[in-house]
Amino acid sequence: MGNKRTHDVVATTGEYTNGQGEKKKRYTNVGSAFTDDQGRISIKLDCVPVTPDWSGWLSLYEPKQQGRDRTPQDAYRKPQGQQQPQQGQDFDADDDIPF
């Protein structure tokens, strides 16, 4: 039947502190893994982390949402604690690089 998307490829790219003061790991979805009819796994990377906090390891997780439930915004969701543009700043939501 071909390849079926079976996993998200995820990198741990640092830490942040949530609103309750707890340290949490920051994860970045960097691609997808596909399994063919013979059980072989292929990985398609969409990006590679360049942060010095990345150890070089990637992990495979079953997708939280598949198919129609998954929106493009899921891939670009900002971790808690990142600042949003302030009022008066130029920001185009469709721009790939918002600065």
Q: What is the pLDDT of residues 31-75, one digit of tens each?
A: 999 999 999 999 999 999 998 888 999 999 998 865 544 444 454
Rounded to two decimals, the pTM is 0.60
Q: Is residue 2 within 8 Å of 34, Cβ to Cβ?
A: no
pLDDT of residue 73: 42
- What are 96's two structure tokens? 């790939």
Q: What is the dihedral of CA 62, 65, 70, 74, to 10 degrees?
A: -70
